[in-house]
Structure 1
């Protein structure tokens, strides 16, 4: 796995967000180092799934960048990112076996 950097990342499902409350994912600046072990925890509705969908390319962020190693992958589709997400419970993919 390469280092994952999130720069000024935030997301709103509204077409023209005007204030902080309009964002489902508040601004996030973080570096996840290669080889590290990380957990994403928080209450329902705090943006965990939104963040994972942005990192994996299923969703394009309203603002900011997703960087793998030295490559900005923000606009790349999921199949070109070579990354996946796994949930504790398969609620997102409940139609698959």
Structure 2
């Protein structure tokens, strides 16, 4: 356990950088997005494409904030479950 806490302290744990959705459509979806971005790059003026990129950046920031909140809430729920399992609600080892 100490290794995990030490890595967390030094900033070596970054779960968001290791995320790879297990959904098989993830890679296909990203390919479609790239293809559409290439098409819009050819179709739109430089200014219009810049506006589109700015919109996509804002959506990314919003999604990132939402993901961070979901991660935090999930972690809290997990911690509350551990508290429940290891000592909450008057449960003692050996009792069933």
Compute the TM-score of the two structures, normalised by the length of structure 2.
0.20
Give the number of the structure whose residues are more often strand, by fraction.
1
- Whose radius of gyration is greater, 1 or 2? 2
Compute the TM-score of the two structures, normalised by the length of structure 1.
0.19
Which structure carries more relative contact order (alpha carbon 8 Å, separation 6+)?
Answer: 1
